[in-house]
């Protein structure tokens, strides 16, 4: 186990006037500060060295920390995720990048049978303080095997924490918290929130980020917009879309509350329930598949606690149970777009 | 007054155009020397632009504008 003392965790408030970064740069800054602080932290994965991560998750880390701590791996996810698990068990704090979450199929035994179970099977005597970073999401015609979110799959399986930032501030705070956590944490960054110049870019992907290290607590949702008429519970890029729609609909007199879950495991059910108790209406927006996933879990949370909170039936906007199409118009027909969110809100508030 | 130039990212096509991808500062803001002010792109190659001097920055191009390499994108005074 690492013996490095973990510093105070008080998160500074993001200020509108502060220094601004893209989500990708905020993530890298968080990793770099933890690598600076704790020599047991290292990063490995495909194209994370000289390339800097194909979605800029590691830009500049090789130059700063050298090849012993920023390692390019062969294309063998099972090998390097197993390596990371072993290193974590021996007291290192590895961050292993699975280039696209879609590739989990070739390494899932290492992840869910080993990384996610060792701490249970050892009765808590062996800790696995590792982070799996992985790129998720579609919207840029990368096809069925490079566009999925799949966070519902990881959150479904016991033993892993799952965090999904949507803003630069949370990207830095959650990667810091993930690295310091003694449990395996899966950190899923949507390519569309990274603020990459070569992808479709929402202004919300650039924002204020404090320069000092800080943690965003894992397992705590954020009410990112307060409103009275309906609650939109969502995560990742869909938070940007939901906020865009909320701004539009405010002009029509519809006042949306938007909850950014930020963590899927542990899930902050309390924040969801408090919001739904206030608004009486719930829309869940999820870029993962519709069935057996996050949207059903949120709906069940309300139904199990008190269905009387709802003034109208729950609505869900998610990817229907089909592989993500390559063709742009077809892809945008299945993604949870602003148009689909707006339509669902109208149905919800009219019901 | 200090001019901030779009960096030359392509040696093969030095007169080629790029895109001002992201401004991290607003027009009129006070910047410190060395501060990250913009990200630019030529093809899929990106580069950060840092303030060459401190002072009040005046932005000469908009985000997503197509800009020739080595042209002025901002002035600092």
The CATH number of residue A32's host domain is 3.40.50.970
- Whether B39 and A197 lie within 8 Å, measured CB to CB: yes
Domain boundary among A179, A208, A237: A208
Domain check: are A189 and A240 in the same one?
A: no
**Å between B1 CA and nearest CA of chain A:** 23
Domain check: are A97 and A199 in the same one?
A: yes
Domain check: are A68 and A120 in the same one?
A: yes
Of A104 and A15, the one with more pLDDT: A104
Domain check: are A183 and A63 in the same one?
A: yes
Residue A10 lies in a domain: no
Residue A6 lies in a domain: no
Interface test with A, best of B24, B47, B50 (most A CBs within 10 A): B24
Residue A138 lies in a domain: yes
pLDDT given for residue A12 in this prediction: 65
Q: What's the pLDDT tens digit per position in A206-225?
A: 999 999 999 999 999 999 99
pLDDT given for residue A15 in this prediction: 54
Rounded CA-CA distance A187/A164 in Å is: 6
Q: How confident is the model at residue A17 (pLDDT cuts 50, 70, 90)?
A: low
Supply the angle between the helices A338-350 and A237-250 in degrees, to the nearest 10: 50
**Å between A139 CA and nearest CA of chain B:** 18
Q: What is the mean pLDDT of residues A129-158?
A: 97
Q: What's the pLDDT tens digit per position in A52-98?
A: 999 999 999 999 999 999 999 999 999 999 999 999 999 999 999 99
Interface test with A, best of B22, B24, B63, B67 (most A CBs within 10 A): B22
pLDDT given for residue A197 in this prediction: 87
Pair A148, A138: CB distance under 8 Å: yes
Domain boundary among A208, A242, A261: A208
Domain check: are A48 and A103 in the same one?
A: yes
Is the pLDDT score of A244 beyond 70? yes
Domain boundary among A155, A183, A208: A208
Domain check: are A232 and A122 in the same one?
A: no
As for how many domains chain A has, the answer is 2
The CATH number of residue A243's host domain is 3.40.50.920
Domain check: are A183 and A245 in the same one?
A: no
Rounded CA-CA distance A98/A265 in Å is: 19
Domain check: are A201 and A130 in the same one?
A: yes
Residue A12 lies in a domain: no
Residue of chain B nearest A51, judged by CA positions: B45
- Whether A20 and B19 lie within 8 Å, measured CB to CB: no
Is the pLDDT score of A178 beyond 60? yes
Domain check: are A143 and A235 in the same one?
A: no
Domain check: are A198 and A268 in the same one?
A: no
To the nearest whole percent, how much of chain A has pLDDT over 90? 93
Domain check: are A33 and A149 in the same one?
A: yes
DSSP letter assigned to residue A54: T
Q: Which of A182, A135, A186 is nearest to A24 (CA)?
A: A135
Taking 70 as the pLDDT cut, the residues of chain B under it are none
Domain check: are A114 and A231 in the same one?
A: no
Is the pLDDT score of A184 beyond 70? yes
Active site residue A240: no
Is the pLDDT score of A332 beyond 90? yes
Pair B19, B65: CB distance under 8 Å: yes
Domains located in chain B, CATH noted: 2-76 (2.40.50.100)
Contacts of B24 in chain A (CB under 8 A): 19-21, 206
Q: Which of B19, B22, B40 shows the shortest C-beta gap to A22?
A: B22
Pair A334, A287: CB distance under 8 Å: no
Interface test with A, best of B19, B29, B35, B39 (most A CBs within 10 A): B39
In sequence order, what are the residues at sequence separation of 6 or more whose Cβ sits closer than 8 angstroms to the Cβ of residue A173?
A11, A30, A165, A214, A215, A216
pLDDT given for residue B10 in this prediction: 86
Which of A11-20, A28-37, A143-152, A228-237 shows the lowest mean pLDDT across its residues? A11-20
Residue A53 lies in a domain: yes
pLDDT given for residue A350 in this prediction: 87
- Whether A197 and B25 lie within 8 Å, measured CB to CB: no
Residue A61 lies in a domain: yes
- Whether B36 and A21 lie within 8 Å, measured CB to CB: yes
Residue A216 lies in a domain: no
Q: What is the mean pLDDT of residues A320-333?
A: 97
Which residues constitute the domain of residue A326? 222-350
Residue A106 lies in a domain: yes
- Whether B22 and A195 lie within 8 Å, measured CB to CB: yes
Q: Which of A114, A146, A240, A241 is catalytic?
A: A146
Is the pLDDT score of A3 beyond 50? no
State the ipTM, two decimals: 0.86
């Amino acid at each position: 186990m690492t013996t490095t003392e973990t510093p105070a965790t008080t998160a500074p408030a993001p200020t509108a006037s502060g220094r601004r970064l893209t989500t990708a740069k905020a993530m890298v800054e968080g990793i770099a500060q933890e690598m600076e602080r704790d020599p047991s932290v290292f990063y490995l994965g495909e194209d994370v060295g000289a390339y800097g991560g194909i979605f800029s998750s590691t830009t500049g880390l090789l130059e700063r920390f050298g090849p012993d701590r920023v390692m390019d791996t062969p294309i063998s996810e099972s090998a390097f995720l197993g390596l990371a698990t072993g290193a974590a068990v021996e007291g290192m704090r590895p961050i292993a990048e699975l280039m696209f979450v879609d590739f989990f199929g070739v390494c899932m035994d290492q992840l869910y049978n080993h990384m996610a179970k060792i701490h249970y099977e050892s009765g808590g005597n062996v800790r696995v303080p590792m982070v799996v970073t992985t790129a998720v999401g579609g919207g840029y015609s990368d096809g069925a095997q490079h566009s999925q979110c799949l966070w519902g799959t990881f959150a479904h399986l016991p033993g892993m924490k799952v965090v999904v930032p949507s803003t630069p501030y949370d990207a830095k705070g959650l990667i810091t918290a993930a690295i310091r956590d003694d449990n395996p944490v899966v950190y899923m960054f949507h390519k569309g929130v990274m603020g990459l110049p070569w992808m479709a870019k929402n202004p919300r992907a650039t924002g204020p980020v404090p320069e000092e290290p800080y943690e965003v607590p894992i397992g705590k949702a954020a009410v990112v917009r307060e409103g009275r008429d309906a609650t939109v519970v969502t995560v990742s890029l869909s938070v940007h879309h939901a906020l865009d729609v909320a701004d539009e609909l405010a002009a029509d007199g519809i006042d949306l509350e938007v909850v950014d879950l930020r963590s899927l495991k542990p899930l902050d059910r309390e924040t969801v329930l408090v919001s739904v108790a206030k608004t009486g209406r719930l829309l869940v927006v999820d870029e993962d598949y519709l069935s057996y996933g996050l949207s059903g879990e949120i709906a069940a949370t309300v139904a199990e606690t008190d269905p009387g909170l709802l003034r109208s039936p729950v609505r869900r906007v998610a990817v229907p149970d089909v592989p993500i199409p390559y063709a742009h118009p077809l892809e945008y027909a299945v993604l949870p777009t602003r148009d689909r969110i707006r339509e669902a809100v109208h149905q919800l508030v009219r019901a | 007054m200090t001019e901030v130039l779009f960096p030359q990212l392509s040696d093969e096509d030095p007169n080629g155009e790029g895109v001002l991808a992201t401004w991290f500062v607003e027009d009129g803001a006070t910047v410190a020397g060395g501060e990250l002010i913009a990200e630019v792109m030529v093809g899929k190659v990106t580069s950060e632009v840092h303030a060459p001097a401190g002072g009040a920055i005046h932005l000469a191009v908009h985000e997503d504008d197509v800009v020739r390499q080595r042209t002025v994108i901002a002035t600092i005074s």
